[in-house]
Amino acid sequence: MIFEALLSGLMHVFSWPAIGYLGLGIFLGVWLGALPGVGGITGLILLLPFTYTMEPVSAFALMLGMFAVTTTSDTIASVMLGIPGTAASQATVMDGYPLAQKGQANRALGAAYTCSALGGIFGAVVLTLSMPLIKPLLTTFSTPEYFMLSLLGIAMVGSLSGNSVAKGLVIGLFGMMLGTIGEGTFNGQPRYYFGIEYMLNTPPLVGVVLGLFAIPELLELATKNTSISRVRSDQSKGGGMLQGIKDAFANWWLVIKSSTLGVYIGMLPGLGASIVDWAAYGMAVQTTRGKSEFGRGDIRGVIAPESANNAQRGGALIPTLTFGIPGDFAMSILLGALLIQGLRPGMQMLTTELDITYAMVWTLIIANIVSAMLLMVLGRQVARAIFIDGHLLVPLVIMFVFMGSWLGAQSMGDLILMLSMGALGLFMKRSGWPRPPLIIALVLGPNMENSLVISNRIYGTLGWLERTPSWIIGIIIVITIVGTASGLLRRKRSKPVDDPNLSAKLSIEGGERNPIIAIMLATFFVVFFAAAAVLAVDFHPTNRQYPIAVCTAALLLLAASLWSDLKAARLSIAESSFATTWRDSMTDGDMQRGLTFILWVAITVFGCWLIGQKFAISALVFAYLIFWGKRPLWLAAAYAAFIFMFITAFYDWTMHIPFQRPFIDKLF
């Protein structure tokens, strides 16, 4: 019966018009995944209305074909720009971007595409074999385990990012606090919204990601007067696409381990793409030899997350199809499409509609293979962009940053959020505070609080820790933090083995050292957490337990990180003077030009309110090329006109995005 269903599903996919819709979905997925801030979820939302009149196989060929390949093409932004193309490619930035800076973007992309295809196929195979056997596994997890798994994800990312475990965990706790903004888990009581309607909801993830990562990286290109690569094309070694493919097969055991991890994380509702790449990256760091190169351009740091995030797609479909429990937000959209087609998750998908289920499996397999081959063909041309003058890339990327941020709640609050996160990201990057923990904590935070409240009600306060799965996960959390901390100590005592001339030019996440700026940022966090704890006292008891606990833990960790930075700053001041140390810190961090760039972005945000996005962003592009890039007037005008037409054609006419009504329009 299973073999017949598999064959029938394959015939369904290759029949017309399903195969045509699959090709269209793959094309759209490659494009949408490469655009920062757009990604697969936006694509699913846009495609959902078109599926009402389609046959089930055609509908899912279009949607899954698009969605499956976004975690392949999102590698382009992660490697080329240091900006996570989607939430599933955050960890790829850690080693993919340093490889691009070394001139080895082709190698990183070749490994990523190969592993994405292998991981996607692996996930589809496991989906095929696991559906009849998965129910006993899922039923062993309850709300305490979901809370502990989320805490494990944040602890893993926080401890593995940068050169300070304490700072990484503080940033994770900061992201958890951002997740408490808006309505509380009990009786909908608003928290931390200060009478601002926009803040009644948790900050949109897209605006936070683009501001935190994109703005500082754009600043690098704008101020360093260089390309993405820090070496010339004739100086890059070992960076070919074929070398990346060989790397993937040479690390076959890491591919299998990461793909397996991706599948089973995908099966756990509420986690999905937000944690899978970091879990795989953490596993690679913890279980492989020669860890000193991770974060500096180790190809294994690309292989692990890219294998896992594509395999996660197959895993996420398992609870969606068998129990009607979406593995993540994207699966909830696919579940809606399933219901639109008159299909019901559960026994129907495993019996009478088994051929449709396996048609989805074949869709995943075909989409991953075709997209990887297509991107490999185009990869050489894409990778050449790392040697293009950075001043010609900044205007195009900044347009995607502004419009990608706008896709959140489609209000001026989105752009202000992006600007605020951009300023915060600048200080974090310059002072060695890692940024990735904030993102995963923001994603997982609301579900964590909800799971904690429910667990305390059912089992009593912390009584749920007596459950065997919960304390086992707790032990893993402790081992992760302690193991990483000891590894960092060993790394600090050993000498770096890489080329010092090259490493000085590379930017390692959380690796920069500037005690003065770090102290400024730590002071901000102390004020933030202290004020948040004081404000939480007036909340309902159920709504204040979580934020007060988070703030208390953060303040304790801040004391440790502040002490370390104060000692470093004290040594610098003792060697010269406070004024000299301050001036040198600002110069080393290039803070004057950095804050000037932030001011330009702020003026553009104001311009979006005053004259609308189309004119404001085009004006920024024109001014940037004239004053920062020192480009000819005709080139600046032509580039600005292109940006205006692209925004109009794609975001306005194609996506039908509502734009900000300009204030000047209201006057007249």
With a cut of 60, say whether residue 501 has pLDDT above it: no
Residue 463, domain member (yes or no): yes
With a cut of 50, say whether residue 656 has pLDDT above it: yes
Q: Looking at residue 510, what is its pLDDT?
A: 60
Q: Looking at residue 139, what is its pLDDT?
A: 62
Q: What's the residue count for the chain? A: 668
Residues 524, 574 contacting (CB under 8 angstroms): no
Query: Are both 281 and 331 inside the same structural domain?
Result: yes
Closest Cα to residue 328, out of 136, 148, 88, 606? 88
More confident residue, 160 or 517: 517
With a cut of 60, say whether residue 597 has pLDDT above it: yes
In this prediction, residue 495 has a pLDDT band, given cuts at 50, 70 and 90, of: very low
For 120-173, the DSSP string reads HHHHHHHHHHHGGG-HHHHTT--HHHHHHHHHHHHHHHHHHSSS-HHHHHHHHH
Q: Pseudo-torsion of CA 488, 492, 495, 498, nearest 10°? A: 50
Residue 59, domain member (yes or no): yes
Residue 316, domain member (yes or no): yes
Closest Cα to residue 43, out of 22, 60, 67, 65? 67
With a cut of 70, say whether residue 46 has pLDDT above it: no
Q: Looking at residue 288, what is its pLDDT?
A: 74
Query: Are both 543 and 661 inside the same structural domain?
Result: no
More confident residue, 233 or 69: 69
Q: Give the separation between CA 2 and CA 57, rounded to whole angstroms.
A: 18
More confident residue, 222 or 111: 111
Instruction: Tell me the sheet residues that pair with 191.
Output: 182
Q: What residues contact residue 182 under an 8 Å CB cut-off, 6+ apart?
A: 190, 191, 192, 193, 199, 200, 201, 202
Closest Cα to residue 57, out of 10, 104, 98? 10
Angle between the 412-431 and 390-406 helix axes, to the nearest 10 degrees? Answer: 130
Residues 33, 86 contacting (CB under 8 angstroms): yes
Query: Are both 608 and 524 inside the same structural domain?
Result: no
pLDDT tens profile 255-314:
888 888 888 777 765 555 567 777 788 888 877 776 566 777 788 888 888 888 878 877
Q: Which of 535, 567, 599 is the last residue of a domain?
A: 567
Query: Are both 319 and 277 inside the same structural domain?
Result: yes
Query: Are both 463 and 398 inside the same structural domain?
Result: yes
Q: Kindly report the average pLDDT of the chain as a whole number.
A: 80
For 516-566, the DSSP string reads HHHHHHHHHHHHHHHHHHHHHTTS-HHHHHHHHHHHHHHHHHHHHHHHHHH
Q: Looking at residue 56, what is its pLDDT?
A: 84
Residue 580, domain member (yes or no): no
With a cut of 70, say whether residue 639 has pLDDT above it: yes
Q: What percent of the chain clears pLDDT 70, i.e. is strictly above it?
A: 82
Residues 368, 121 contacting (CB under 8 angstroms): yes
Residues 490, 496 contacting (CB under 8 angstroms): no
| Helix, strand, coil percentages for the chain (3-state, nearest 5) | 75, 0, 20
Residue 370, domain member (yes or no): yes
Query: Are both 360 and 397 inside the same structural domain?
Result: yes
Residue 534, domain member (yes or no): yes
Residue 340, domain member (yes or no): yes
In this prediction, residue 418 has a pLDDT band, given cuts at 50, 70 and 90, of: very high
With a cut of 80, say whether residue 89 has pLDDT above it: no
With a cut of 80, say whether residue 331 has pLDDT above it: no
More confident residue, 232 or 423: 423
Instruction: Tell me the sheet residues that pair with 182.
Output: 191
Q: Looking at residue 377, what is its pLDDT?
A: 78
More confident residue, 568 or 290: 568
Residue 438, domain member (yes or no): yes
Query: Are both 532 and 609 inside the same structural domain?
Result: no
Q: Looking at residue 235, what is its pLDDT?
A: 45
For 308-328, the DSSP string reads HHHHHHHHHHHHHHHHS--SS
Query: Are both 557 and 615 inside the same structural domain?
Result: no
Count of structural domains within the chain? 2
In this prediction, residue 520 has a pLDDT band, given cuts at 50, 70 and 90, of: very high
With a cut of 90, say whether residue 107 has pLDDT above it: no
Per the structure, the complete domain to which residue 605 belongs is given by 591-667
Q: What residues contact residue 588 under an 8 Å CB cut-off, 6+ apart?
A: 514
Q: Looking at residue 637, what is its pLDDT?
A: 96
As a whole number, mean pLDDT of residues 133-145 equals 68
DSSP helix/strand/coil, 478: helix
Rg of the chain over all Cα atoms, to the nearest angstrom: 24
CA angle 401, 405, 410 (to 5 degrees): 145
Cis peptide before 17 (omega within 30 of 0): yes
Q: Give the separation between CA 45 and CA 308, rounded to whole angstroms.
A: 24
With a cut of 60, say whether residue 386 has pLDDT above it: no
Q: Looking at residue 268, what is its pLDDT?
A: 67
With a cut of 80, say whether residue 563 has pLDDT above it: yes
Query: Are both 600 and 457 inside the same structural domain?
Result: no
Q: Which of 82-86, 326-330, 457-461 has the lowest mean pLDDT?
A: 326-330
With a cut of 70, say whether residue 45 has pLDDT above it: no
Query: Are both 661 and 626 inside the same structural domain?
Result: yes
In this prediction, residue 621 has a pLDDT band, given cuts at 50, 70 and 90, of: very high
Query: Are both 6 and 112 inside the same structural domain?
Result: yes
With a cut of 70, say whether residue 526 has pLDDT above it: yes
Query: Are both 279 and 377 inside the same structural domain?
Result: yes
Residue 583 DSSP one-character state: H
